[in-house]
Amino acid sequence: MTIADVKKSTEEKMRKSLETLKSNLAKVRTGRAHPGILDHVRVDYYGTPTPISGVANVTLIDARTIGVQPWEKKMVAAVEKAIRESDLGLNPSTQGDMIRVPTPPLTEERRKEMVKLVKTEAEEGKVAVRNVRRDANEGLKKLVKDKAVSEDDERRAQDDVQKLTDRYVAEIDKMVAEKEKEILTV
């Protein structure tokens, strides 16, 4: 293992943490509808919990309505039930074999709750990035202990890892600010 290996794996892990945060923020509902809201809803498909996208087409009908069209007629009731019982607070209605899912406008109180949720997700993302930094620094110290690199090289590598950490934390802050602005926009 070399300093370059440590830096490379550190950057990969930090990037993955950022991507995880990005996908978690995409699930946070704003005032507008988007098909990604239903991504984590599971439908009982012949005894197997399956994502809605695995049993139906999920489309956007208009800015506040999601359309869900199951591929099998007998799945309509199961999909509607799964959406209704999810923790999203959505109330779907069925019209033939199409399920319309209107997204209610967010109240001011609910918007503030969403902002808190976003900040919690961001803090978890920052903790993940800092944990990666800690692991990288431990790896660098191990290299010095094994006499694979000098202490000066380790110090420079730690500075590089810190710069990487600062860059990813700044990126997280930027993503959170954008999401917060999106949520608070009426």
Domains and CATH numbers, the chain: 3-27+107-184 (1.10.132.20), 35-102 (3.30.1360.40)
State the DSSP code for 171: H
Cα separation, 59 vs 66, whole angstroms = 6
Cα separation, 79 vs 180, whole angstroms = 31
* Residue 122 tokens, joined: 């961001």
From 81, 77, 33, select the one nearest 58 (Cα to Cα). 33
**pTM exceeds cut of 0.85:** no
Q: Render pLDDT for 84-105 as a digit per residue (tens, 0 to 9).
A: 888 777 888 888 889 998 887 7
Q: Render pLDDT for 60-90 as a digit per residue (tens, 0 to 9).
A: 888 788 899 999 888 888 889 888 888 777 8
- Is the pLDDT assigned to residue 113 strictly greater than 90? no
Which residue's entry shows tokens 């500075």? 159
From 127, 131, 123, 133, select the one nearest 159 (Cα to Cα). 133
Q: Are 103 and 33 in contact (CB under 8 A)?
A: yes
